[in-house]
Structure 1
Amino acid sequence: MNTTPATEAEQIVRSLARTLTAPQPTECLPCYLDRVLRVARCDGTLRLAKRYRDTVAPRATALERRMHQSGGCCDCEILMNVYESKSDDVHPCQGTRKGSTSPCGLWRPVRHW
């Protein structure tokens, strides 16, 4: 099947986007969101958090509910309302165990009083 240059270009862009937004090995959820949201805009959903979960921790079925309960109704709100960095420099990620959505040692839960 012949593809047009526009179709081929679209396939290349989609492939590049998938590669850029793929979680890195042992990367924790907050580090992943921090890295990806520097190059991709938040769309008001948990699109990236779901991608992380589906790729890294598919058994974490309560992730969305936990994020919503802590004030993380979209990807960027997770970094504002759920986790806060312990310092200005959160790179490189200190890593987390396989299948976990827990933060690495560079992050702590936001305290809600």
Structure 2
Amino acid sequence: MEQYTVAELEDALKVVKRLLPPRYECLACYVNRMLDHGCNGLKWCTTYRDLRAPRATAMERKFPELGGYCDCEVLANVFRINDELWPHAEDGSTDDTYVPQCHKVRLGTIKPCELWLMRSGVQWGGGAFRQAKKAS
């Protein structure tokens, strides 16, 4: 049996910790962050769902209906940047070099934080992007 040093185990734990969604981070912010590690189906969406929103069982059926067949398509077709809250370059386009910190959501939801707009679709209201309603 191979023995690992404490330093090797700590390094491995750091890698695993970076791959886990922090508490209250929204699905869109998590997927946006994880796409640096590649896109392979709905891997990051299902990882998030399994760890933070296990009751969102219809996600794998609904996202493809909205054009989200893989994680990068989820960010292209299901979620969209809320232009009002992201920094803009001098030409007015969204500045992709700076990603704002997640505005956080309650545990158990796959809805995005205020930084993103979520597309409503077949069962979600006709295909328009709309902002989440603030709880009163």
TM-score normalised by L of structure 1:
0.80
Percent of aligned positions with the same letter in both sequences? 36
2:58 corresponds in structure 1 to 62
Determine which of 18, 25, 29 is the counterpart of 2:23. Answer: 25
- More moved, 16-25 vs 64-73: 16-25
Q: For residues 90 and 28 of structure 1, what CA distance do their matches in structure 2 show?
A: 14
**Per-residue Cα deviation, 1:57-88 (whole angstroms, up to 9, x for no partner):** 00110011111111000011110011111134
What is the Cα deviation at residue 109 of structure 1?
2.4
Change (3 A) 1:49 1:67: same
More helix by share: 1
What is the Cα deviation at residue 3 of structure 1?
1.2
Determine which of 82, 94, 115 is the counterpart of 1:106. Answer: 115
Greater relative contact order (CA < 8 Å, ≥ 6 in sequence): 1
CA RMSD of the aligned region, Å?
2.3
The number of equivalent residue pairs is 106
1:3 matched to 2:12: no
1:77 matched to 2:73: yes
Change (3 A) 1:92 1:70: same
Gaps spanning 5+ residues in structure 1: where? Answer: none
Three-state SS of the structure 1 residue aligned to 2:110 is coil
1:41 matched to 2:38: yes
Change (3 A) 1:98 1:84: same
Gaps spanning 5+ residues in structure 2: where? Answer: 87-93, 121-126, 129-136
Point out 4+ residue stretches in structure 1 off by more than 3 angstroms.
11-17, 110-113
Q: For residues 113 and 31 of structure 2, what CA distance do their matches in structure 1 show?
A: 13
Task: Say which one has the larger Rg.
Answer: 2
